[in-house]
Amino acid sequence: MQYSVSFPGGTARYLFNSSFEQIHQWLAPAECIIVTDSNVAALYNHLFSGYKAVITVPTGEVHKNFSTVLSVTQQLLEHKAHRKTFLLGVGGGMVTDITGFIASVYMRGVPFGYIPTSLLGMVDASIGGKNGINIGLQKNLLGTISQPEFILFDTHFLDTLPASEWSNGFAEVIKYACLFDVKLFDELVERDIQYYKNDSSAASALIARCADWKNKIVLADERESGMRKLLNFGHTAGHAFETVCLVPHGHAVALGMLVACRLSEQYGLDAGVTKRLSAVLRQYHLPVHIQADTQQLMDVLHMDKKRSATGIDFIILKDIGKAEIQNVAFETIRQVIQQFINAGDH
């Protein structure tokens, strides 16, 4: 299945149920430089012959920074990359972010595309045109909004994905279900990770469904002036957990969704919804409690890009499938986070 989406910032093609070998239909390897990470390179180096160059970056979110950008840029110069050179990011969300960011600014922009290799990359990180790098404790402080020419989805890469990374990706799947899709939420309740690992067609359908939801939102609001902010559900507090507690992105988002739900209860959400979310997170091996320092979390939240003088725009659930944006005072956030940390998941 293939389709194209024309955003204000460019047209992106979505190539589902595809294989890496089909990439030759869309680009000439001799004019393409692959950017990947050390884990993917070790597993799939045999796929990368015939390309202009392969640039390998260290694995992990900690390396999504300006130092890595400078290193990749220097290697692009060494390989004589020019404005027609195609950059292909093959890896998880960190790789696609780095690739998209560099492609957007190198020589004021070169063509690029993605082959995400993680579930998180396939359902979320590679989609939507956001490309960013971290500066210190600030996640994605420097970034661009620039659409890839294509995203190729090859679920065979999931065969080598560690179990923890399956859980990591399902945090974003659960996010879409909470925001937009009651039926998907009910399906997740009935199934588990093993179901999707054993059924590649079900996994492919799930990935396409999540991509459809994100594309609908981004198409309506590419620059995040309104509706796209909904996609931050779980990410506001989640980014603080990720920074302070050094947990994987999906684990942090899971915790952030629970904090958002507890906050939502102050705006009318039934407490039963929080319990249902907690149960689904456990079902997909995601954390529902963590030990953390409230002040450290608040220090990070006070630097959040969505902050105002008195609070932060939080995504509040009204029910499964219904969400809204609410500016929440810092003191209210502190109280809820303190209760969450102290109470755990009871």
Domain boundaries, the chain: 2-160, 163-343
pLDDT value of residue 312: 94
- Name the nearest CA neighbour of 139 among 107, 102, 97: 97
Positions annotated as catalytic residues are 108, 130, 172, 214, 224, 228, 232, 235, 239, 249
- Name the nearest CA neighbour of 67 among 104, 34, 103, 98: 98
Distance CA 32, CA 30 (A): 6
Distance CA 114, CA 122 (A): 10
Q: Are 184 and 217 in contact (CB under 8 A)?
A: no
3-class SS at 303? Answer: coil
Extended beta strands in 38-117, E state: 53-57, 86-91, 112-116
User: How far from the centroid of its chain's Cα atoms is residue 252's Cα?
Assistant: 12
Distance CA 23, CA 44 (A): 15
**pLDDT by 10-residue block (mean), the chain, 346 residues:** 88 95 92 98 96 97 96 98 98 98 97 98 97 91 95 97 97 98 98 97 97 96 92 96 95 98 96 98 97 95 85 96 95 94 67
CATH topology of domain 163-343: Dehydroquinate synthase-like, alpha domain (1.20.1090)
pLDDT value of residue 346: 46
**CATH number of the structural domain 2-160:** 3.40.50.1970
Question: Please, is 283 exposed, middle or buried when counting C-beta atoms within 10 Å of its C-beta (0-12, 13-18, 19+)?
Answer: middle
